[in-house]
Structure 1
């Protein structure tokens, strides 16, 4: 057996901890040990092998955050098969597209929302070659064509297939906020490297209690697997609730968590309403989108200097750059501008900033971020065109525009495709959001480009105010005029009570753009 595959690294490690608690589902109050986890995973793997699952078989898993989510995803990996992890919060159209694109031979599900879509996929495919497993205990009504299973009644042992370095461990579909979802392929070697790199970057041990409240198919899933190989006690929330989250930290003495900036903002607001004992927390990992510097300072006051930011992409298993706890402290005391960065390259990451001609940019100048890393994806499933465009000479071209400051910290300016061109000038939405978020009444904001007859595109801001605060559009526009160039000042501002979020907690700018670009063939002008 090659010990550097994802399959080997994971299952060799989780045999070490036996009767230590492995997983707790907070909604059901169920806790299982590592031995129970292994037994249930092996039972699932036995069942899947009987259904014909083997190395190379595509198996889709649509299960909400739960112990079952972990068991069934690991069960697929135990067989050496390829996991297609799907977010249960995805829309019907996204699920339908992914199923037809990935063509899984087995679909494991536990969501009422997607029953019809999965049933249609089963009917379209040859139902003799596709099996759908509907998990009990989630309140879902399954059609009679679905196969249901009760794990305790499934017995027997089989020899599990051994994956090689080149076998596909997973095909993870991007959120599709800029078009149809893309299947990001990770080999056993690459996914194994991500486990090793995560252990290096995020030190945990078997005394850690790690709380996850974001979808496990995203960044949280990589950190969950990283937690299991160290014997951590993992706590799973099905969905985020700020009061429940802080109560859990207080009562269970949680030591680490992973969240996104929108969740940090809600935790700050909840903690200000009611005092919580959160001194057990040693690590708050955050990422997925930029964070307001002002609100991060508020978070320091409540939770202390325990923040670690990560910057990554599905194609890189989240491991591109990180802002360490020490970086946060230094920046907080010496240079707050660094708090806007995503840190310095991770241990195994090589990084370049490229201009439009493919050359390295000059120091302190912006350029497209290109990455070379052992955990890099092997390409996009069924999309050789996109693979050739993004993966060149061993480098992955991220589509993010960034620049390095004089200290070597990487600052993300904007997505290359999200840049607004107003009056022939480039406007980076993140820069406009940074200005707006400095206003004391603003909790969060989102900047988009909207069509304009004279300017081509006009800068538009959607702002959510802090609880109890009031502020006019005119005041925010004047605030921007005093702090930035005229061409970056918003032409339109909408005050909202909330902003739409993607399934992974990012602000859904595609949804914000829809009303303005309806009936057009593209969202630029």
Structure 2
């Protein structure tokens, strides 16, 4: 049905809520109502149509968190085109590859970052009609060959294409830390199904105020779109800054936000030194990894029992399973080990665990997590063999090793690629990290496998300590000996001031392995 396309859902959302506030940019507090957002979006759509954009056109964006980022993303959907969102935190190699593979007809840029890469793409596209549009107001000096965006005086009398269910709404790239990035294709129908599923499972309405500080080209953008179809007032920060984030919660009576655990830990540490009013909060969505019982207790004391964990990935439109607010509370008081889980499958999602021979494994047995959902990707862009390997008989093979308990809660044990084989034993890096993170001095940890002449791979842990705490390499090793299996005890420990993070705040293990190989890690 046409009504379930992402394009139709997002346009209905903007049409329904009129003079209600839609989006506010912090810290200047510039606000647009839904009516204003709809008008501005249509003007941009007219501009894009004038450039020749329509169904099937690829449009790449390099726009920081901003009102413009929201408007252009929505306008691209109104044109029926395909959005190719790029983060300015990507490396030059990744941006160059994505542009050359996706071949966008238009690139919209509002950042100093990657101007040279975009210019190289323009100069190399002599055989194609490529337009590079620079957005004013961001303090960027664009090359003469870029065009400067100008608002149309009025909306032109144009017919906007109606997207069909099979049209590509989103081409989102993932996996750029190793090899080349993979373009994940999401159809209009699939993205629409993801929005509807989220709206049913986690209701938001026009009384909610959502605060987003993570890059909108990642998970934050999904929550933004999902909020816009429900009349929510959305507050956007250019980036995450702990004090400003807490101040925004208090000043704007924020009810809902999304963050990765590293962000939550920083908020909890700040709250120990400064008192903030966070009584308005009723939902904290977090993802990337489960939270420790100690940190969850701190979160309950500060925010109340409002935590919601999400497990997902780009290929599955972010969400595969959820650990609900009530499940967090029940587990905390009755069965703390469930806090290590990522909950149970979402409404429209089926989940199975498969052994090495393709057999379905039973409770408490390890297997690869495979997923079936109307919201999952169509495939990888121009990678038929990769798609064939990832999607089999309608099931997406995630590459995650998991386990179910007797109650049906799903546990992520590790990524296949992060599993360490040491002395013939399978060591799950996430399990090592869970043990290390229980040490009272440890703030964050990352476990990687490093080459070893006797063991094949040795378990190596890199940690950062909490403010005001310290520990030694030997203390971490002894702590692990007392709390985990012998073969999982790290043989090497590095204590660092910081850990490298990906653009969405996950610990970058690829970078840590590179740092180890170059001798850049130190033992304190």
Q: Structure 1 length normalisation: TM-score?
A: 0.97
Q: Does 1:189 align with 2:171?
A: no
**Aligned pairs for 1:42-81 within 5 A:** 42-81=42-81
- 2-structure distance, mates of 1:297, 1:180: 40
Structure 1 counterpart of 2:522: none
Residues 448 and 509 in structure 1, CA contact (< 8 A), matched pair in contact too = yes
Structure 2 counterpart of 1:427: 427
SS of the counterpart of 2:117?
A: helix
In the TM superposition, residue 390 of structure 1 has moved relative to its aligned partner by 0.4
Structure 2 counterpart of 1:484: 484
Residues 25 and 235 in structure 1, CA contact (< 8 A), matched pair in contact too = yes
**Aligned pairs for 1:464-483 within 5 A:** 464-483=464-483
In the TM superposition, residue 152 of structure 1 has moved relative to its aligned partner by 5.9
In the TM superposition, residue 175 of structure 1 has moved relative to its aligned partner by 4.1
- 2-structure distance, mates of 1:296, 1:151: 48
In the TM superposition, residue 297 of structure 1 has moved relative to its aligned partner by 1.9
Q: Does 1:495 align with 2:495?
A: yes
Residues 419 and 429 in structure 1, CA contact (< 8 A), matched pair in contact too = yes
Q: Does 1:314 align with 2:314?
A: yes
Structure 2 counterpart of 1:117: 117
Structure 2 counterpart of 1:264: 264
Structure 2 counterpart of 1:507: 507
Residues 313 and 319 in structure 1, CA contact (< 8 A), matched pair in contact too = yes
CA deviation string 1:212-243 (max 9, x = no partner): 01011111111110100000000001100000
- Are residues 277 and 374 of structure 1, via their aligned partners in 2, closer, same or farther at CA, if it must alter by over 3 Å? same
In the alignment, structure 2 segments of 5+ residues that lack a partner are 520-524
- 2-structure distance, mates of 1:172, 1:296: 32
- 1-structure distance, mates of 2:192, 2:431: 36
Residues 462 and 495 in structure 1, CA contact (< 8 A), matched pair in contact too = yes
- 1-structure distance, mates of 2:153, 2:292: 51
- 2-structure distance, mates of 1:417, 1:152: 50
- 2-structure distance, mates of 1:332, 1:84: 41
Structure 1 counterpart of 2:361: 361
Residues 278 and 303 in structure 2, CA contact (< 8 A), matched pair in contact too = yes
- Are residues 118 and 165 of structure 1, via their aligned partners in 2, closer, same or farther at CA, if it must alter by over 3 Å? same
Structure 1 counterpart of 2:415: 415
- 2-structure distance, mates of 1:334, 1:127: 65
Q: Does 1:160 align with 2:160?
A: yes
SS of the counterpart of 1:254?
A: coil
Structure 1 counterpart of 2:2: 2
- 2-structure distance, mates of 1:23, 1:96: 32
Structure 1 counterpart of 2:401: 401
Q: Structure 2 length normalisation: TM-score?
A: 0.97
Structure 1 counterpart of 2:41: 41
In the alignment, structure 1 segments of 5+ residues that lack a partner are 520-525
SS of the counterpart of 2:220?
A: helix
Structure 2 counterpart of 1:387: 387
SS of the counterpart of 2:4?
A: coil
Q: Does 1:331 align with 2:331?
A: yes
- 1-structure distance, mates of 2:152, 2:190: 34
- 1-structure distance, mates of 2:47, 2:79: 10
- 1-structure distance, mates of 2:34, 2:205: 14
In the TM superposition, residue 292 of structure 1 has moved relative to its aligned partner by 2.8
Residues 451 and 516 in structure 1, CA contact (< 8 A), matched pair in contact too = no
Residues 87 and 217 in structure 2, CA contact (< 8 A), matched pair in contact too = yes
In the TM superposition, residue 101 of structure 1 has moved relative to its aligned partner by 1.1
Structure 1 counterpart of 2:235: 235
SS of the counterpart of 1:14?
A: helix
Residues 290 and 339 in structure 2, CA contact (< 8 A), matched pair in contact too = no
In the TM superposition, residue 327 of structure 1 has moved relative to its aligned partner by 0.2
- 2-structure distance, mates of 1:439, 1:96: 42
- 2-structure distance, mates of 1:126, 1:335: 63
Residues 92 and 113 in structure 1, CA contact (< 8 A), matched pair in contact too = no
Structure 1 counterpart of 2:462: 462
- 2-structure distance, mates of 1:175, 1:363: 30
- 1-structure distance, mates of 2:318, 2:407: 23
SS of the counterpart of 1:468?
A: coil
Residues 165 and 189 in structure 1, CA contact (< 8 A), matched pair in contact too = yes
SS of the counterpart of 1:398?
A: strand
Q: Does 1:29 align with 2:29?
A: yes
Aligned-pair Cα RMSD in Å: 1.3
- 2-structure distance, mates of 1:4, 1:439: 49
Residues 343 and 410 in structure 1, CA contact (< 8 A), matched pair in contact too = yes
In the TM superposition, residue 80 of structure 1 has moved relative to its aligned partner by 0.3
- 1-structure distance, mates of 2:153, 2:357: 61
Structure 2 counterpart of 1:522: none
SS of the counterpart of 2:3?
A: coil
CA deviation string 1:247-277 (max 9, x = no partner): 0000000010011101001000111110000
SS of the counterpart of 1:132?
A: strand
